[in-house]
Structure 1
Amino acid sequence: MPEQAVALTPFERAAAAIEAWLDGAGATFATRTRQPDPRRKVASWDLELRHAVHGRQRVSIYITRDFPATPPQVRFDKSLCLVLPHIEEDGRFCHGVEADPQDYDEPVDAMVEVLKRLETFWSDSADPAWVAGEFQDESLSYWLRFCLQYKPTRGAPGVSGLRVALTDLDGPTKGRLAAYFKKDQKARSDLLVATVGEADPHGLAVRHGWAVGTLVRGNALFVPLSAAQSWVPGSWPRTLRQLEDLVASAADQTLSVAKWIEDNKEDARCFLVVLVQGRTCYGYLVYPAPVVRLTSPIIVPVPVDRVDTDWALARDHGLDVLHLRRKKRVLLLGCGSLGAPVAELLARAGVGELHLLDKEFFGSENCARHLLGASDIGDLKSGDLATRLRRQVPGITVKAFHALATDWIRHQCKPGTYDLVVDCTGESAVRTVLTRLREHSLGKCLVAHAWMEPFCAAAHVVLLQHCDRWPADDPREKVNVAEWPEDTRVHPPACNAGFHPYGAADVWQAAGFAAERVLAALDGKVTASMVCSWVRSAAFFQTLGVSVQPGPRVPAIDSGMDAVHLTRTYEDVFGDG
């Protein structure tokens, strides 16, 4: 019997269609390359193109082994990178064509679309104004390629990474620089950290765990560029003289880079000039002449990674909201499985100052559903959570307190101290004290009570404006969506050690829901007191194995993975309070 034919894979069929077309009808403009890269390419072809400015160019088009999951590729001579836009440092052309499911059935159409993009690009790139505009529109991307390609003069150390905490600039502004050199690393710094004004870059590096190696201090200079300043490869300084001229022009001839270096060379070993256009930063390391009067100073372009809050927390978008949140001080009571992720979400949303209060130590049994983990066992929850947030979230001020919430509210809180108090303890005593001492301890700040029903079957946030109180008789049953047995907890053989079984995937849904409502109140989007609930489906309640009685607000949904969000007014739930 003849052997059974081996069926072609979808990739092989698509590649065969391209080869048949380009070796057939396409042979009038494309010539098969005889030695493609067998590790990556299935087949490639060469095209001869004539350019109005750059003359005759050989261009390669090819398909990869995962075509059509990866569209056809085009490659130019890599010397055209930073000469023409959209050409990578390896010569690859960024044509912008994305893979389409239809390409498996019509692979030739994918190649035709790429060739059309190539034709349009080749025509447009003959116009110097178009070229300059493309470079300017994506200047940061091309700057990164420039830094990678730059061949510094022998003896220029360079740097592995540069992180800058940018602030608003009124004009050229001096700053400070911290460089870190690992052991036996005498020339090339592993990391530079720069700050504006008198802010300490070393303190910033220590806070975030970047300060690894020997510290060397330096000076930084931040120079704003006007929006009209051309910033394309042809205008980028490549010598100190060119950098000097650019900075002098940007500063109306009032600033000299050379003089700045001369005035500070006794106090600093490294110098950094950061050119800032809009909110985008371009860095130059400047090294004084190795041999005075015999050699010239050296400049090295370096990419800048901004680590200030505007970029790290908002990517420079929606800054009005971020800057409003940065002015807020929030007290969060309870750093348990609900309170800890709520705290982190508030921090990452830009809250400026966060005070964390909890009386408990972290236990190993909480590793499955808490932000903290095995390295925190035996430590204070509030303390380790505060350390985590300070290390991970730029700009936030976090303070931790080990105390009973009721004692803290009574003895430490004063009106005007906080903009918002978030109670994540789930404790009746805390809700009652917040009500009884509202005027005495909190004044007109917002109050939010957040808790979960057993098994994380529902979560609630009660947002209270200053004119409303949580009722003194603690009517939590008016908020909860189900009637529960007196005790639904699992009880290990220890005093007060009961727990409800749920995991991080459950409680973090509740935390996201709670944080979203709390932020809406903090941003002023919620101006009335309300009760917000996240409620899982009736099918979920049926899986719990306890005699729970779901109420009418539990949605009659057959899927145990579904949930609904409900919002009720304060009056609807509590009447007149």
Structure 2
Amino acid sequence: MPNTSIKSTTAFLQAKAVVEKWLDGDDSTFITRSRLPNSRRKAASWDIELDHPVIGRQTIQLSIPQDFPATPPQVHFSKLLCLKLPHIEEDGKFCHGINPSANDYEDPCSVLIEVLNKLSQFWTDITNSAWVAAEFQRERLAYWNRFCYIYKKDGKPAPRNSYAVFTSISGVTEGRVASYHAKSPGRRGRSQDAEFRSTKVLITQGVIDPHTIAVQHGWTVGTLFRGNALWVPLPSDLLWTPNIWPRSLKQLERLILDSSNNEHSVVAWLKKKIEQNIQNGDGGLYQPTFVILVQNRTCYGYMITPNLIPRLTPPGIVPIEIERVDADWALARDYNLELLELRRKKKVLLLGCGSVGGPIAELLARGGIGELHLTDKEFFCIENCARHILGAEHVGTAKAIALADRIRRQIPGSQVKSLRILAADWVSEACSPGRYDLIVDCTGEGTVRTMLGRFREKAFGDAGIVHVWLEPFGAAAHAVYVNHEQPWPYDDPWEKVNAAGWPDDVRVQLPACGSGFHPYGAADAWQVASFASERIFACLNAEIPISTVWSSVRSSAYFDKLNVATVRSSIIPSSGDVFDACHLTRTLAEVLHVE
């Protein structure tokens, strides 16, 4: 027989019992058991009747979820108060901001008291209209998205996803629209609304083609409709709260006129577009039309819907949630854009797209490097799956081509060129001083390091070079930055950098001419990629004045565990834990014992 006593003693049920004993007791006269319980979502609920000088008498529900106290108590108002008062969601839930703590299991009533105190403070605050407006303004994007959701829930035709590529804006400007519509509308509605219910909309500024961007990122699902957009900057000090938001074309017109000193009219713009369509012979085709309002780099959208009765009724407007997909937001969330802009000016040549070069290339692209050129002659094989960022779908594809395609598809704003060519051929035939800001060698091959040293003045001039390689078993990794003043020596003294000397038999030989590999895993390669990329960015930021060697070295216990006869150097940290490691920074002169 199952032990039914276990259920009655769970931590959740114990906490629930403590709260019920308190709130159902004779001393809790301010609260009564809820008349509208919801046992599926709530373990228990109570009602509080309160009078308010602004919103009148309200029934407020206090409840504890099924997983209380892992989830704190909830408070619900009437959902009609959403967008009339801040911190109330579309289902009436009050966002009290109380987070659970470990002590809630021992004293479940304490978190309930916190929530009630928060409710009491809110009840007082909402008598102050200035406080209400300030709270709406502080989290205006969240409330705008809630506003759009309510419109969509009420059956208004709106795109499922609306994306925008924002660059910068100083005045009213036009843009372009690519709207993708599935063969059948994704939701029920009037048949005349079906054409407005796109699955995805991409909106750009100026002459940037949104369809090209959509193709690059795999967003082109459905039939393409091209359209127009009007981008309008709003004053940064404009109060943007629910009572300000336009709900008709007339109100939108007034807002744009006020924001542009009466220089721009959305109605006049719409008429101009209709006339252009007629002149181009497209007057009968549906063309999606949007207005994008921008305040402090945050975008708010309206879709213009055609008038139901031509020449008699005005077009309608539907607010839409805009998700920015430009590189500024995707890569930096608009934070420290000066650094991102600096990186956009950099051009990097990366040699070797293997298990170390692949993730380094992706990390550089995600860090905002303006242009990447990737060289690798080899094709991706199934055995590469174990430690490469590419996978089985890329088998038989050139590594450089597949990696460049992956980066372009996944990372907005990335400019990547793939070069299926030997490093020596590209360097000797196509490179010239000033073409690249930095060269990153991820081949791990001594012949490439030597070749780069021989060609550096002719091919790269003053540009720096970073050599990255990994020792067997991931026991150590190195990133060596060399500038033109102290280049890497022609004799390739890698053994002076390494943490250990390794026997020849650590390389696993395969039954093919010159074929084999050093044993290490994806975790080793990707850890090295992160270690090296951080230092590569420092080189690009001009933070490293001299040739420098960085090393990440595992502990002596790790080397002991390998049971391989190595000649160990002094840079291996002494430790009894295999997970210990150290990072070292040395000058190249120090490593090479150069005065």
TM-score by length of 2: 0.94
> Structure 1 residue 28 and structure 2 residue 29: aligned?
yes
Q: Determine the structure 2 residue equivalent to 1:230.
A: 239
Name 1:517's counterpart in structure 2.
Answer: 535
Q: 1:395 aligns with which of 384, 391, 413?
A: 413
Q: 1:37 to 1:563 in 2, by over 3 A?
A: same
2:287 counterpart of 1:269? yes
Matched with 2:546 is 528
- SS of the aligned residue for 1:320 comes to helix
* 1:151 Cα deviation after fit: 5.9
1:85 maps to which residue? 86
Residue 489 of structure 1 is aligned with which of 484, 507, 514?
507
- Counterpart CA distance in 1 for 2:587 and 2:520 is 29
Q: For residue 252 of structure 2, what is the aligned residue in structure 1?
A: 243
Tell me the alpha carbon deviations over residues 25-84 of structure 1, each in whole angstroms, 9 at most, x when there is no partner: 552110012552121211111001111200110000011111110001100010001000
CA apart distance, 1:469: 0.3
Task: State the Cα RMSD in Å.
Answer: 1.6
Aligned CA distance change for structure 1 residues 26 and 399 (closer, same or farther; 3 Å): farther
1:455 maps to: 473
Compare 10-19 and 414-423 and name the one that shifted more: 10-19
Residue 381 of structure 1: how far off its partner (Å)? 0.1
Tell me the amino acid that sits aligned with residue 68 of structure 1.
P
Amino acid at match of 1:314: A
User: Which residue identity does 1:142 align to in structure 2?
Assistant: Y
Amino acid at match of 1:159: P
Distance 1:452 1:152 in 2: 55
Give runs of ≥4 in structure 1 deviating > 3 Å. 3-7, 151-154
Q: Which runs of 5+ in 2 are unaligned?
A: 186-193
Segment of structure 1 superposing worse, 564-573 or 329-338: 564-573
Q: CA shift at 1:501, angstroms?
A: 2.1
Partner of 1:14: 15
Query: How many angstroms apart in 1 are the aligned matches of 2:291 and 2:304?
Result: 7
1:539 aligns with 2:557: yes
Alignment of 1:441 with 2:459, yes or no, is: yes
In the alignment, what sits opposite 2:306? 288
State the match for 1:173 in structure 2.
173
Q: How does 1:175-574 map to 2 (within 5 A)?
A: 175-185=175-185, 186-187=194-195, 188-265=197-274, 266=277, 269-574=287-592
Given that 1:163 and 1:193 are in contact with CA atoms closer than 8 Å, whether structure 2 keeps it comes out as yes
CA contact (8 A) 1:153 1:298 kept: no
Secondary structure in 2 matching 1:487: helix
Q: What is the aligned length?
A: 574
* Residue 104 (structure 1) shift: 0.5
Q: 1:79 & 1:8 partners in 2: Cα distance? A: 39
State the partner residue of 2:190: none
Give 1:4 deviation, angstroms: 10
Cα displacement string for residues 300-338 of structure 1 (whole angstroms, at most 9, x for unaligned residues):
100001011110000000111111001110000000000
CA distances 1:161-216 after superposition (whole Å, capped 9, x unpaired): 11100011120111100111112344211111011100000000001010111111
Equivalents in 2 of 1:539, 1:484: separation in Å?
Answer: 17
Cα separation, 2, equivalents of 1:77 and 1:210: 39
SS of 1:343's equivalent in the other structure is: helix
Give the superposition deviation at 1:527.
2.1
Counterpart of 1:104 in structure 2: which amino acid?
Y
1:480-521 per-position Cα deviation (integer Å, ceiling 9, x unaligned): 011111231112222222112221111111110011110111
- The alpha-carbon deviation at position 575 of structure 1 amounts to 3.5
Question: 1:545: how far off?
Answer: 3.3
CA contact (8 A) 1:463 1:531 kept: yes
- CA gap of 1:26–1:98, structure 2 versus 1, over 3 A, is farther
Change in 2 beyond 3 A, CA 1:99/1:91: same
Distance, in Å, in 2 between the alignment partners of 1:94 and 1:534 is 46
Which residue identity is paired with 1:46?
D
Instruction: Note if 1:44 corresponds to 2:62.
Output: no
Q: Is the 8 A contact 2:203 2:210 kept in 1?
A: yes
Query: Which TM-score applies when normalising by structure 1?
Result: 0.97
Name the amino acid aligned to 2:173. T
Percent identical among aligned pairs is 53
1:33 counterpart letter in structure 2 = S
Letter in 2 for 1:561: F
Amino acid at match of 2:218: G
Residues 487, 547 of structure 2: 8 Å contact kept: no
Q: Which amino acid aligns with 2:22?
A: W
Q: Which whole-Å CA distance do the structure 2 matches of 1:470 and 1:197 have between them?
A: 47
Aligned residue identity for 1:555: P
State the AA in 2 paired with 1:473: D
